[in-house]
Amino acid sequence: MKKINVRDVPAKEWVSPKGRFTSLDQELSVALGRDPLSLDLRSRHPFDVEICRVPAGKASCPYHSHSAQWEFYHVISGTGIVRHEQGKTPIGPDDCFIFGPNEPHQIINDGAAELVVYIVADNPVGESCYYPDSKKWMVLSPKRRLLRSEPLDYFDGEE
């Protein structure tokens, strides 16, 4: 058994070039030994777990959908909105929601305090993501590459 304490897991800051997207992520499954680049499921783990902190006025990432991945969210603290195909839904402490493959989504903190969300995602191999706002694809197989007609920066068309 491998055991960690969340307090001991460093948060990795992720900020887009223009600052529209920002999060501080504690990658709990990585701290427990997950190798995200491995194709061996014993090393890769069948799911990914993290605590995501989104500062006030920021979105955690661009609006996107996954081709194969499921994502479960549990709001720990703060308030915000979830953008999805049907519109926007307010979220707050103890709210839980899930997105399956091909269901676009985005977490936005429209509150005054930090939004803290617990995320569990399954971990398919050969995943791709679609970004409706910029109309681009990211293909993970197993390297991360953005495709249209030529290689693109991740944030192209998003900020």
Q: For 30-46, write each residue's pLDDT tens digit.
A: 999 999 888 787 888 88
- Return the CATH number at 36: 2.60.120.10
Tally of domains in the chain: 1
Cβ-proximal residues to 87 (8 Å cutoff; 6+ apart), any chain: none
Q: Is the separation of the CB atoms in 157 and 131 below 8 Å?
A: yes
The tokens 């992720």 sit on which residue? 14
Q: Supply the range of the domain harboring residue 99.
A: 6-124
Instruction: Extract the tokens encoding 70.
Output: 């499921």
In a domain, 133, yes or no: no
pLDDT of residue 144: 55
For the entire predicted model, the pTM comes to 0.88
Instruction: Extract the tokens encoding 41.
Output: 């499921």
**How far is it, in rounded angstroms, from Cα 91 to Cα 87?**
13
Instruction: Extract the tokens encoding 135.
Output: 């109309």
Whether the predicted pLDDT of 61 surpasses 80: yes
